[in-house]
Structure 1
Amino acid sequence: MYQTISTTLEDNILVIAINRPDKMNALNKTVMAELALAVDEVYKKKEIKSAIITGAGEKAFVAGADIAEFLTLSPEQGATLAKKGHTIFQRIEECPKPVIAAVNGFALGGGCELAMACHFRIASTNARFGQPEVNLGLIPGYGGTQRLTQLVGKGRAMELMLTGDMISAADAFAMGLVNHVVEREALLEKAKEILKKVHAKAPLAVAKVIKCVHAALDKDVDGFAMEIDEFGACFATRDLQEGAEAFTQKRQPRFTGE
């Protein structure tokens, strides 16, 4: 079905792998279009409860964009390219099902931006992160200036983007850019371990948490008011009834997402 990505569904987790290891999994138009289709699958298919985005091979998660595609672009075409990237990455960020980036190797430029669009990140010990666009006379174009600042703070984000420096997985963990650092062979298992915990929770509540957390960073949204509304909306769900009954009966809840 796909030419530049691969997908595997197991235990209700869709693993989406950028599959251009000979090109360090660089993003091009085809990758972005196919990634958008895979994300649509996550939204639409009930059997998919969560997703992991990773890179094929041992060297790279995504080592940036395919720079050869940039050489003939006009300013208008460049802006159109960035807008498409923003749309796809925002759809990942706003997915009501959890999406984890499992970062193996280089996550540079658009690759770092893709990882940051996921709900959180797990890195292998050999992972490297960076926004080196200034080395090409560019700036991050797929949300990097905004998400990196949100995740690590203005000062650190400014330094990383102005110098174009790469940082190690350990440094990324210290900055709060990644949640966990594990050996490469344990990377996917760690991501799956976390997602299986989430799968045991109420799906509607999970979606509402994701929505409300994003609202905390949206200047145009009153996140506190949204939390009140979404908290109230939980009382119309069967899952709340099941969760409360299971708690009082001292048993594990059986959530249905209703």
Structure 2
Amino acid sequence: MAALVGRRTLVQLLRLQAAERDGAGRLGAACSGSRHYVLSGKAANASALNRTGPASRQYSSDSKDDLRVRYLDGEDAGIVVVGLNRPKAKNAISKNLVKMMYEAVEDIKKNNKVRSVILCSLAPGIFCAGADLKERAKMHQSEVGPFVSKARALITELGNLPMPTIAAIDGAALGGGLEMALACDIRIAANSAKMGLVETKLAIIPGAGGTQRLPRVIGIPQAKELIFAARAVDGAEACRLGLVNHSVEQNDSGDAAYLRALALAREINPQGPIAIRMAKLAINQGMEVDLSTGLAIEEACYAQVIPTKDRLEGLAAFREKRRPHYKGE
């Protein structure tokens, strides 16, 4: 029965992905031209946004700037940088930020030109402080549950993106901030960054997936200890626990984790994009079922890459001793 359910779930997912690929070509074509982005209320070209030092950090009190999405170009084409940009609120998760992130995730999900996503902060010293408690204090009790449900659904959608996602944690990631990072495939943190699900300090529990994702990442006993004690750990300890993949020495610009995430995205970029998506699907689905069902999922995902042009390009490049040029076809 488990195998049957697993196969049915996979078939539905593969059909959905096929439908998304059919429509993504049109979206990709529309997105492939000259891009402009909102930067402090003014248009800016991609090269200005690709700078990673302090000079590239420009802030605005305009709520439209709470999230900045950058589609990199040139050799980095295919990498999308999603930047949290509420420095005065420590990137706290507000109604507006949830809405903007939903829209960004939907756009990214439908674009088959996207090969990897980096989630980072544009505010020095902070990744995300969790829920916007000032906004929360103004909510009626009846509003809190629905808002938390929306935030949980957003983070679930982030986790369901078909391409690799990397969280670059250059500062504190607490509560919902860490929950967002946990939904990403890979986490990279500065050694000075603080991370924790600290909700029990406020007499509540993690409500956006933390009680489920943290145990899956670091194990049940360790997750219980951190959640029960509302303990925050630094990057080095997070790496020891397996909470993050890499802990890096912070630099003067405060963006060491972002730079390491960008380097990793550049490693992923040249690989077969359909193969990467199928590998992610096989891993994510397979970890939730028994081994026999997991192997069936792997087989079904492998079947999806056999008829692709990319697979033939990979064989040709190997034979001709050259670098392959994959198009996601």
TM-score, normalisation: structure 1? 0.93
Structure 2 residue 61 is the aligned partner of structure 1 residue 9: no
User: What residue number does 2:162 align with?
Assistant: 96
How far residue 218 of structure 1 moved from its aligned partner, in angstroms, is 2.5
Give the CA deviation at 1:33: 0.9
Q: Match for residue 113 of structure 1? A: 179
Higher-Rg structure is 2
Asked if residue 201 in structure 1 is aligned to residue 271 in structure 2, the reply is yes
2:260 aligned with 1:183, yes or no? no
Q: Give the C-alpha shift of residue 200 in structure 1.
A: 0.4
Q: Report the alpha carbon displacement of residue 220 of structure 1 after superposing the two structures with TM.
A: 9.2
Measured against aligned partners, the alpha-carbon deviations of 1:217-239 in whole angstroms (never above 9, x if no partner) come to 33499322110111122111111
Partner of 1:140: 206
Which residue is 1:124 aligned to? 190
**CA separation of 1:80/1:224 partners in 2, compared to 1, >3 Å: closer, same or farther?**
farther
1:68, CA displacement in angstroms?
2.8
* Residue 215 (structure 1) shift: 0.8
Task: Measure how far apart 1:46 and its partner are.
Answer: 4.5
Work out the CA distance in 2 between the residues paired with 1:21 and 1:184. 19
Alpha-carbon deviations, 1:133-157, whole Å to 9, x = none? 0011110011000110000000000
Aligned-partner residue type, residue 136 of structure 1: L
2:65 is paired with a residue of what secondary structure? Answer: coil
Question: Please, which moves more after superposition, 205-214 or 219-228?
Answer: 219-228
1:237 aligns with one of 301, 308, 312: 308
Cα deviations by residue, 1:155-196 (Å, 9 ceiling, x for unpaired) = 000000000011010010001111111133432221111111
TM-score (norm 2): 0.74
| Helix, strand or coil at the partner of 2:287 | coil
Aligned-residue offset at 1:254: 1.3
Match of 2:84 in 1: 18
Q: Report the AA paired with residue 192 of structure 1.
A: L
**Separation (CA, whole Å) in 1 of partners of 2:181 and 2:94:** 16
Tell me if structure 1 keeps the 8 A contact 2:169–2:258: no
> SS of 1:15's equivalent?
strand
Preserved contact between residue 94 and residue 211 of structure 1 (Cα < 8 Å)? no
> Structure 1 vs Structure 2: percent identity of aligned residues?
33
Rounded Cα–Cα distance in structure 1 between residues aligned with 2:112 and 2:275: 16
d(CA) in 1 for partners of 2:140 and 2:214? 26
Q: Distance in 1 between matches of 2:136 and 2:270?
A: 44
> 1:73 and 1:233 mapped to 2: Cα distance?
48
Q: Give unpaired runs (5+ residues) of structure 1.
A: none
Aligned residue identity for 1:109: G
Gaps of 5+ in 2: 1-37, 39-63
| Count of residue correspondences | 257
